[in-house]
Amino acid sequence: MPFFRAATGALGALCFSISALRAETIDVKSGEHADFSRLVIQFAQPTNWTLGRTQTGYEFRPARAEVRYRLDSIFTLIPKKRIKSVEDLKDGSLFLTVPENFSADAFEIRAGRVVIDIKDEAPRQNSVFERPLASQESREIVVTPQETPVAEKKAPIPADLIDLPAPKPQIAAPLFPVTFADPEEDDAAAEQAQQDLFDLQTRTLETEQQVIASLSRAVSQGLLSADTTPVPSFNLPAPSSPAAAPATSTQPNAAEDAMPPQTPQAVPPAPEVKRTPENHIRLETAIDRARGGRGQSPAPQMAEHACLDGDIVNIATWGEPPEEGLMFATYRNGLTQEFDTPNPEQVAALAKYYAYLTFGAEARAALRDFGVIVEDMALIDTVAAIMDGDPVTDPNPFADSYACDSASALWALLASDRFPRDANRNDTAILDAFSALPSHLRWHIGPRLAEIYVKNGALPQADRIKNVLNRGEERAVEAMDLLDARIDLADQNANDAIARLETIVAEDGTLAAEALADLMAAQLASGIPVSPQRIVDAQSMARTYTGTPMAQTLNTRAFQAMIAAGDGAAVLTQLLTKDDIEMAPATKDELASDALKTLAENGDTQEFLKATGQISRTPEARRFSQDALGAAAVQLARLEFDAAARSFYQKSGGSANRVATLAMSQTYIDRDEPAQALGLLATLAGDDADQLRTLAQALLDQQAAQVAPPPRAQPTLLALPDSPVTVEVAGTLLEQAESWRDKALSALE
């Protein structure tokens, strides 16, 4: 029995380690298009898969059960119109909840990259994807009657791990024979596998260091000219080796052996090597420099920040109109050439076609995944980022091209998303290039381009873009209405803008969240109360857009509306007690300050006292503005909570806060305490301070001339220690006292 337990334990440990090594977590990407929503699943290796119907949607099932999925960002870019939810079933399957009258299509754009499209069309009965899947289709392990229950629980050893022996496949035979191997042999096999992986990494690092050392030696001898500019992320991955290479190397240098000896005077100075978007490595030997040129024909280069023209920036030449049919097969043909190496020209053509169809993520994946550097790589990558609305990173071939008399000016404005600082902008070229785009591209980037002009106050140009879109054969009503509303807001026409935004929100389309944020901002700016239902809708949509800037915008609008409606106490409570509200810390501080100031000046006394007590107990929760703290100090002084008032007054800046000091002084004068007021005004200059000082001194002289009055009765609450807890309790007791008073009056009546 001890030996059986030891063998079983070793076998379980080995199976667990193998399962952990084979586990693969896949990021599921998403994208929204005019008539379908897309999910993209990228496996690390070619994988068989099936897709079939269920009662409430579709099930995607790969041939490998150990696959897991990361689904956090799916609904960041797509609404829940066609795909209600996506669930990882933890057995390799992916379950899609899809409403009625939508159908699925699935295909591979290349080996291992599976695309699932949920389309706006009724399911076709003859479609292979409308058939239900078997309970465990292509996944069951055949078990013969001779096997014992112990053998059924044993996991097969994967054949793709390094140096681990895999059993030969057999039909209707156990994949892992029932044997009780020596536990020491199992442990040794596992340790050997880990050692092999470690040795592989070690050899890789050693090879990298040797290559770097050889290149460094060649550079030091003038045989190579090195460009040390950081490599862009989309070209090649950053090296994992140390940044500094050793100065010497024991490896033979082929270049040194092939070159005849030369004197230092015979080698002219190395020319300046400039980084280009297409090729981040340039090799040049001393012989090339002596000949006055490179030893091979240079690849077409692109001058940085130049005014590019022609087909290189004319995206209309990158593909054929989608209404004439998609041509993926045409562009995929010829992707590989002799010896199965990628064809850079065809890779570039495929990436351009994806960008032409507004598939930015697919275009950038084609540039990255084939592992080749193609001509105009930076330009294609930049256009692809623009198509997806992603930030453009360096190298940006359109930088400083705003004034160009070509389409470069258009792409420069879209890449930066703002006007140039020097205001040198060629609007004529920008709008002409936009008008020349195919209709599907005009509709894709037109609203965004118009919004850039609206944000910068250039309304005539935004109107011209709208007119170009209206001349098209089709009209994206929702996007156009949102654009019209933003133009109305910029033109101080709030009523029409609010009406348009109300319509978009009511339709609950893909732009409903943006429209709701704009609607609430317009109502707040116009002094129109925001309905409680709108506040609830904004908070609900914020949860739908979790992890995106839209979630922060919606939460901000909801809190602003609550403060305007006099519910600042609820805003303060949430901001002081909840850490999971999606909002920038600076925005939280600003909203908390607005809520506190509104409570102090116009809020309910009980709610104000509770809020100030809570703030005093958690002083580090938020950074309140001096204006808000000063307003709270003045209100506490009026309520005769002097210790708490002094605490908030000091936090607001003390005598440096002029507004708070004058208000506090006036409060003490109103309370017939001129000495307190004179103390606050001692170091304050100005006419307003002099007037208060005069008033306080006169009151003090009047009190001195009179017979000393008996001590003024203080409220019972002030007899307690003046602390944050006392202030908060005071609010509660005051609320109870008013309730008792109302009951007493009712009894007398």
Render pLDDT for 29-56 as a digit per residue (tens, 0 to 9).
Answer: 888 887 889 999 988 888 889 999 998 9
Average pLDDT over residues 496-510: 82
Sheet of 103-110: strand order equals: 67-70, 24-32, 36-42, 113-119, 103-110
**Token pair of 548, please?**
């995106």
Which is more confidently placed, 49 or 244?
A: 49
- The residue type at 42: Q
> Beta strand 57-62 with 94-97: parallel, antiparallel or unpaired?
antiparallel
> Beta strand 67-70 with 24-32: parallel, antiparallel or unpaired?
parallel
Q: 547 pLDDT exceeds 50?
A: yes
pLDDT at 103: 92
**pLDDT category, 230, cuts 50, 70, 90?**
low
d(CA 500, CA 59) in angstroms, rounded, equals: 40
Residue 104: phi and psi, rounded to 5, are: -110, 145
The span from the first CA to the last CA of the chain, in angstroms, equals 90
pTM over 0.75: no
d(CA 105, CA 118) in angstroms, rounded, equals: 7
Q: 152 pLDDT exceeds 50?
A: no
Q: 150 pLDDT exceeds 60?
A: no
pLDDT at 733: 57
Angle of helix 477-490 versus helix 439-455 axis, rounded to 10: 20
pLDDT at 470: 66
**pLDDT category, 366, cuts 50, 70, 90?**
confident
Q: 20 pLDDT exceeds 50?
A: no
pLDDT at 197: 64
d(CA 113, CA 219) in angstroms, rounded, equals: 42
**pLDDT category, 176, cuts 50, 70, 90?**
very low
Where is 699: in which H helix or E strand?
helix 687-705
pLDDT at 588: 87
d(CA 689, CA 661) in angstroms, rounded, equals: 9
Q: 379 pLDDT exceeds 50?
A: yes
Q: 497 pLDDT exceeds 70?
A: yes
Pick the CATH number of 7-130 from 2.60.40.3470, 3.40.47.10, 3.30.1490.190, 1.10.230.10: 2.60.40.3470
Neighbours of 667 (CB within 10 A): 22
Q: Which of 232-236, 363-367, 449-453, 494-498 shows the lowest mean pLDDT across its residues? A: 232-236
Q: 657 pLDDT exceeds 90?
A: no
Q: 368 pLDDT exceeds 80?
A: yes
Average pLDDT taken over every residue of the chain: 73
pLDDT digits (tens, 9 = 90+) for 257-309: 444 444 444 444 444 444 444 444 444 555 445 444 443 433 333 444 467 77
Which is more confidently placed, 226 or 608?
A: 608
d(CA 523, CA 525) in angstroms, rounded, equals: 5
pLDDT at 135: 66
Give whole-number Cα distances, 141 to 24, 108, 522, in Å.
20, 27, 62
Q: 44: exposed, middle or buried (C-beta count within 10 Å: 0-12, 13-18, 19+)?
A: exposed
pLDDT digits (tens, 9 = 90+) for 56-76: 999 999 988 888 898 888 888
**Upper half-sphere CA count for residue 319 (Cβ side, 13 Å):** 29
pLDDT at 82: 92
pLDDT digits (tens, 9 = 90+) for 433-446: 888 888 888 888 88
Which is more confidently placed, 58 or 701?
A: 58
pLDDT at 620: 67
**Token pair of 651, please?**
């936090």
Q: Are 284 and 294 in contact (CB under 8 A)?
A: yes
For residues 602, 605, 606, 607, the Cα torsion angle rounded to the nearest 10 degrees is 20
**pLDDT category, 432, cuts 50, 70, 90?**
confident
pLDDT at 736: 62
Helices (H) and strands (E) in the chain, counts: 28, 9
**Token pair of 175, please?**
């994949």
d(CA 267, CA 249) in angstroms, rounded, equals: 23
Q: Are 563 and 571 in contact (CB under 8 A)?
A: yes
**pLDDT category, 184, cuts 50, 70, 90?**
low
pLDDT at 475: 45
Q: Are 89 and 65 in contact (CB under 8 A)?
A: no
pLDDT at 105: 92
Q: Which of 192-201, 318-327, 737-746 shows the lowest mean pLDDT across its residues? A: 737-746
pLDDT at 52: 92
d(CA 19, CA 330) in angstroms, rounded, equals: 40
Q: Which of 230-239, 477-486, 584-593 has the highest mean pLDDT?
A: 584-593
**Token pair of 698, please?**
């006169």
Q: Which of 14-28, 493-507, 556-570 has the highest mean pLDDT?
A: 556-570
pLDDT at 76: 82
Q: Are 431 and 469 in contact (CB under 8 A)?
A: no
pLDDT at 266: 47
Q: 140 pLDDT exceeds 80?
A: no
